[in-house]
Each structure stands twice: as C-alpha cells, then as structure tokens.
Amino acid sequence: MTVDTSKDLFFDKIVGFESDPKISDKLHSLEHKGALDIIDVKFEDAQRRRMRLKSRKGKYYYLTLSRDQKLSNGSVLSLEDNSAIVVRVADGPKIRIIPHDTSSALRLGYFCGNLHWKVGFEKKFIEIVLDGEAKNYLDRLENLKDFAKFECLEVDT
C-alpha cells in the first residue's frame, strides 16, 4: 500500500466533543447540509493513539494523538465552517454479575481481578467489559458457581 501523507489527512488532536452545546449546534447544522462525516471506531480500538481510520464517506485518515488524549464517543477531530468529522465509539457488550451476598461479592471481585478482566463496580453489581466472546467469560464464571452465589446478565449496549 502506498500511504498518502498529505498533511490534511492527519489528526493529531481532539478539537472538541459533541456533548459541548456550542459544538453540537454547529454539528447539527453541518449534518443537515450533508457536511458531517463520521468515523466509526471499534470499542477495543478506541484506546489507540495511532491508527488508520476510514470514514463513512470512504475517506482515509491517520490518527497521531498525543499520549494525554484518547478517543471517546463524540470526539470531534475536525470542525471547520463547512465540514466536520466526528468519532463514534460503540459501547461494547458487557456481562453484569449480581452477587447474592457479601461473601460472594468478595469472591467475585477477587476472581475477576485474578483473570485481569476489565470491570466496572456499581453498588449492587459488577459489570465486565467484554474483550471477545461472552461465552469465554461465562465458561470461566461457571467454574465459580460452587464457591459463590450470583447471577449473570448479558448487557448489549
């Protein structure tokens, strides 16, 4: 592949966020004019600072973000008077584990950590952020059923 290194194809910073009211108004207006392009980024790739991206309009771009920046849903990579480019990151699927008692919760927390799973803690449950098929996680959790009381719920966000 021959890489086109034209400067305007490179994004080295996030210029704003869609959630900013000033920006969202402008994006809305550009969208009506057909001047808004979207780049879909997989959940597992959103942490990357350098990668090749393809927009919904079929254009290729190169991301070269500095280490203190990270893509998220609604990151704006370009905002001009007559065009804009916004990133969409789909929130990945999760498994919600609901422990029945404190002892089971402790056991589950240790278990998830031991397997290096990425989890979010809520008051009454833990949510595992899936990196791969749900079955891989559910198979491991099955092994824990003799030691902890809990139920699992697949959450497709």
Partner 1 sequence: MNVARVGIGGPVGSGKTALIERLLMVLKEKNVKPAVITNDLVTDEDAERIKGGGYLEEDKVLAVQAGACPHTVIREDPSLNISAANYLEEKFPDLDLILIESGGDNLASTFSLDLVDWWIFVIDVAGGDDIPRKNGPGVIKSDLLIINKTDLAPYVNVNLKKMIDEAIEVRSGKDVLELNCKTGLGVSEVADKICKNVLFR
Write out the residues near partner 1 by the rule CB under 8 A. Answer: 1, 3, 5, 10, 12, 47-52, 62, 64-68, 116, 131-132
- Cα–Cα distance, 99 to 114 (Å, whole number): 17
Backbone angles phi, psi at 9, to 5 degrees: -90, -5
Of 29 and 69, which CB lies nearer to partner 1 in the complex structure? 69
We find the least distance from the C-beta atom of residue 56 to partner 1, in angstroms, to be: 21
Of 64 and 83, which CB lies nearer to partner 1 in the complex structure? 64
Q: How many Cβ atoms from other residues are within 10 Å of residue 122's Cβ?
A: 10
Q: How many Cβ atoms from other residues are within 10 Å of residue 27's Cβ?
A: 20
We find the least distance from the C-beta atom of residue 91 to partner 1, in angstroms, to be: 17
Of 98 and 134, which CB lies nearer to partner 1 in the complex structure? 134
Strands 60-64 and 10-11: parallel
We find the least distance from the C-beta atom of residue 71 to partner 1, in angstroms, to be: 11
Strands 36-41 and 119-121: unpaired
We find the least distance from the C-beta atom of residue 70 to partner 1, in angstroms, to be: 8
Of 43 and 98, which CB lies nearer to partner 1 in the complex structure? 43
Q: How many Cβ atoms from other residues are within 10 Å of residue 1's Cβ?
A: 4
Q: How many Cβ atoms from other residues are within 10 Å of residue 141's Cβ?
A: 18
Of 51 and 144, which CB lies nearer to partner 1 in the complex structure? 51
We find the least distance from the C-beta atom of residue 4 to partner 1, in angstroms, to be: 9
